[in-house]
Chains A and B, each alone.
Chain A
Amino acid sequence: MRLVLKRQDDLLKKVEEISGENVFACYQCGKCSAGCPMSTEMDLLPNQVIRLLQLGANEQLLDCRTIWLCASCFTCTARCPKGVSLTRLMEGVRLVLLRTTKEDQVSPKEMEKEFLPQVALISALRKFTT
């Protein structure tokens, strides 16, 4: 499908507001994706998440699993040559989605099935639920 480009910056603006980051500071070098420990599990590479934000390809972005697989480990942020915090941007996208769709990404019942340390449990609930 051909993506029609025109300014649709509502999502972009919200994400930037929440994260405090400038999406256009990213020059798409791909270093974030190169070092991401979760990248092999992701459907979109981390740099592509920023790319879709830059292009205003909101539908594709909100559909992806990558933002939920992001472990917020800050490797990308630590290594970004332009000082862009992709970790914050990912969080921004997640928050927008959680707030608008009201869909929780994990349920406490599912989480009970496997052993998780208390701290992981709570942070997962914070991160993935509305």
Chain B
Amino acid sequence: MRIGVFICHCGKNIAGVVDVKELVERASKLKDVVYATDYVYLCSEPGQKEIQEKIEELELTHVVIAACSPKMHATTFARAVKGVGLNPYLLEIANIREHCSWVHHDKPEIATEKAFRLIKAAVAKVRLAEPLEPIKVPLTRKVLVIGGGIAGIRTALDIANGGFEVYLVERTPSLGGHMAQLSETFPTLDCSACILTPLMVEAAHHKNIHVITYAEVKNIKGIIGNFKVTIEKKPRYVIPEKCTGCGDCMDVCPVIVPNEFDQGLGARKAIYVPFPQAVPLVYTLDLENCLNTQKLVVCEQCYKACGPRAINYLMEPQEIEIEVGAVVIATGFDLLPIENLKEYGGGKYPDVVTGLEFERLLSASGPTGGVVRRPSDGKIPKRVVFIQCAGSRDPEHGCPYCSKICCMYTAKQALLYKHVVPDGEAYVFFIDVRAAGKRYEEFVQRVMGEERIVYLRGKVSKVFQREDKLVVWGADTISGMAVEIEADMVVLAPAVVPSKGTADLAKLLKVSVDEFGFLSEVHPKLRPVESVSPGVYLAGAAQAPKDISETAAQASAAASKVLSLLSQKEATLEPIVAHVDKELCIGCGLCWKACPFKAITMVREEKREGKKRRRYAKVEEAVCQGCGVCMAICEKKAINVAGFTYDQLSAQVKALLEDE
């Protein structure tokens, strides 16, 4: 065994704290270490070359690299050692940056000692390492995209244009998502529907895209390359193949309920399309609000009015099973319920509305036909107060993050309001205006300068009613004055939160979420559209608040990741999976119960002469994620994760703890 130890300075990140020369000296005396050296940037091209040359020159059999976190450069170094024929699993990384020099920058001596121990532990572990080969599994060349908003549509189109089949699943009756609800988009003031609906139609007519609306993903099993998906199509009570979208049913329907698409500000019938440009243009009967139940038909006006006889009150939910090789989650966002914003009268005063509701009031196809009317009495508001950061950047409301889109859409809404109510006054309360995007800052400056919108720097403390006005109490911290505005209407920009159901979906796909419920990427810079679950990709606001431009870019990025996966012959998996020692296994089934990925099955041995057939655990390598829960629970040490065996880990811990 000939181990080489390479210690990285990482400029001053490591070498500025830790004494690397001392590390080299001490590491070279460790058992089986034949060579130790330091280098200013090991991740650089010459740094990698240095490692490669030494492996060849000194015939190194194992390598330890003491540098940054393996999350950062494990793949870089694995590629480097593989380049000269060394199995990458005979490489161990000691993290002496994040785990040492960064956190102990004020105690260089102790940091040097800790760095040495980390290296010593890595050497102890790598001495027991075995070469491993990646696991290859077959690949189904189809993709599931969950969410039919702009993120899902963009992803689906890009993948479909690459020649692969896509299932695009949407929960509501139409594609479009929130973007379809918007009036105009910033900073170009393009009509939102005008730029979105062509994409919706393109997706619906694409030969490689199966659009499945009014449906939800019920279950997903399997792993990258081979997911088995169960989709439940909710009953529309209208046969899509027969419906022509003429609307005769809607005309005769006697039931009127609030339209979700208009955020409840407009009305729809019990049989409806959410908006005129809906895709597919198929009516949906909302049986919860219909006079009929599935058992009792008391009103059949729509049935009678329907020429092609498309209505069927007895329709049942339908389950579809599909197989795909990759999944893209594009489930988007919701707004923080304004009932959570009591100090602003959210949920209490009808004229305190959300930004999304105001979009509907501004929209030419909205409930007021683009004339801004306040919900309480239909009057045109002459003085409107916009409140940004309503719940965002506010740890007390559970959203310490910036919702990112509000500065821009508020500016846009203030501008559009001034265009439709030229004699109106608009005030915007902000704590910072964050307009970091192409032409965004210019847009905001235009709103301030040309539209003469009064921007007040400060958060509003309270909104209350005085006769038919809403009194807003805020402050302007620039002038240092407390201010009061008697407004006709208040528009909140509530915090952006993950859409309903994201948490359940994340659980189903074993994708981790952050503390606010947004889906986590593997690394924000190195792997920004991949989830921690292999084969599952992220697009749009389900990952973090983002605007349409950014969403479209990320959606295309996710599509390109999917395309590069599907363009391979087979899917490649990490061989860091559990292996069972059949001799030691007593077949107790503890690991089988504990496995969170259901990768373990209990099987019986083949028949043995004169002996009882023993039961033992068997690991499905393609399903195993190498988490090690089985290993922790096994009483007989019979199950080991490759690359992280008991022996390796205990050698590592011992080396860490023992004094020289």
Task: Answer whether residue A4 sits at the interface, using C-beta atoms and an 8 A cutoff.
Answer: yes
Whole-angstrom distance between the alpha carbons of A93 and B454 in the complex? 20
Interface segment, one of A49-57, A66-74, A104-112, A122-130:
A49-57
* 7 residue pairs bridging A and B, Cβ less than 8 Å apart: A3-B476, A5-B484, A6-B486, A24-B448, A24-B449, A25-B445, A55-B483
How many contacts A-B (CB < 8 Å)? 61
List of A residues within 8 angstroms of B383 by Cβ: 6
List of B residues within 8 angstroms of A82 by Cβ: 445, 449
Whole-angstrom distance between the alpha carbons of A91 and B425 in the complex? 27
List of A residues within 8 angstroms of B455 by Cβ: 27
Q: With contacts A22-B449, A24-B449, A55-B454 known, is A2 near B479, CB below 8 A?
A: no
**Are A27 and B448 in touch, CB under 8 angstroms?**
yes
**Are B478 and A2 in touch, CB under 8 angstroms?**
no
A4 closest partner in B (C-beta): B484
Task: Answer whether residue B481 sits at the interface, using C-beta atoms and an 8 A cutoff.
Answer: yes
Task: Answer whether residue B457 sits at the interface, using C-beta atoms and an 8 A cutoff.
Answer: yes
Whole-angstrom distance between the alpha carbons of A4 and B455 in the complex? 15
List of B residues within 8 angstroms of A5 by Cβ: 427, 454, 456, 483-485
The B-contacting residues of A in range 1-51, CB under 8 angstroms, are 1-7, 22, 24-25, 27-28, 47-48, 51
Task: Answer whether residue B473 sits at the interface, using C-beta atoms and an 8 A cutoff.
Answer: yes
Q: With contacts A28-B457, A47-B478, A54-B454 known, is A2 near B484, CB below 8 A?
A: yes
Q: Which 4 A-B pairs have CB atoms at the shortest separation, nearest pair first? A: A25-B449, A24-B452, A51-B479, A2-B482
**Are B481 and A57 in touch, CB under 8 angstroms?**
yes
B441 closest partner in A (C-beta): A27
Give me 19 other A-B pairs in contact (C-beta within 8 A), A4-B484, A27-B445, A48-B478 excluded. A1-B482, A2-B473, A2-B481, A2-B482, A2-B484, A3-B476, A3-B482, A4-B486, A5-B454, A6-B383, A24-B448, A24-B452, A24-B453, A25-B449, A27-B448, A51-B476, A52-B479, A55-B476, A57-B481
**Are A2 and B483 in touch, CB under 8 angstroms?**
yes
Whole-angstrom distance between the alpha carbons of A90 and B257 in the complex? 58
The size of the chain A interface, using a CB distance under 8 A, is 21
Whole-angstrom distance between the alpha carbons of A27 and B478 in the complex? 11
The size of the chain B interface, using a CB distance under 8 A, is 24
A30 closest partner in B (C-beta): B478
Tell me the minimal C-beta distance from A20 to chain B in angstroms: 14
Per-residue contact bits, chain B 449-480, to A (CB 8 Å; 1 contact, 0 not):
11011111100000000000000010010111
Tell me the minimal C-beta distance from B346 to chain A in angstroms: 22
**Are B482 and A7 in touch, CB under 8 angstroms?**
no
Whole-angstrom distance between the alpha carbons of A22 and B450 in the complex? 9
Per-residue contact bits, chain B 417-456, to A (CB 8 Å; 1 contact, 0 not):
0000000010100000000000000000100111011111
**Are B478 and A3 in touch, CB under 8 angstroms?**
no
List of B residues within 8 angstroms of A60 by Cβ: 481
List of A residues within 8 angstroms of B427 by Cβ: 5
B385 closest partner in A (C-beta): A5
**Are A51 and B484 in touch, CB under 8 angstroms?**
no
B480 closest partner in A (C-beta): A48
**Are B479 and A4 in touch, CB under 8 angstroms?**
no
Q: With contacts A5-B454, A28-B457 known, is A51 near B485, CB below 8 A?
A: no
Tell which of A7, A25, A51 touches B478, judged by Cβ atoms closer than 8 Å. A51
List of A residues within 8 angstroms of B452 by Cβ: 24
List of B residues within 8 angstroms of A52 by Cβ: 479
B433 closest partner in A (C-beta): A27
List of B residues within 8 angstroms of A27 by Cβ: 445, 448, 455
**Are B479 and A48 in touch, CB under 8 angstroms?**
yes
Tell me the minimal C-beta distance from A115 to chain B in angstroms: 39
Tell me the minimal C-beta distance from A58 to chain B in angstroms: 13
B445 closest partner in A (C-beta): A27
List of A residues within 8 angstroms of B454 by Cβ: 5, 24, 54-55
Tell me the minimal C-beta distance from A45 to chain B in angstroms: 10
Whole-angstrom distance between the alpha carbons of A5 and B485 in the complex? 5
List of A residues within 8 angstroms of B483 by Cβ: 2-5, 55
Tell me the minimal C-beta distance from A61 to chain B in angstroms: 10
**Are B479 and A57 in touch, CB under 8 angstroms?**
yes
List of A residues within 8 angstroms of B476 by Cβ: 3, 51, 55
**Are A3 and B484 in touch, CB under 8 angstroms?**
yes
Whole-angstrom distance between the alpha carbons of A51 and B478 in the complex? 7
B479 closest partner in A (C-beta): A51
List of B residues within 8 angstroms of A54 by Cβ: 454
Per-residue contact bits, chain B 485-522, to A (CB 8 Å; 1 contact, 0 not):
11000000000000000000000000000000000000
Whole-angstrom distance between the alpha carbons of A71 and B452 in the complex? 28
List of A residues within 8 angstroms of B480 by Cβ: 48
Whole-angstrom distance between the alpha carbons of A47 and B485 in the complex? 22
Whole-angstrom distance between the alpha carbons of A3 and B481 in the complex? 7
**Are B425 and A6 in touch, CB under 8 angstroms?**
yes
Q: Which of B448, B450, B457 has the most CB of A within 10 A?
A: B448
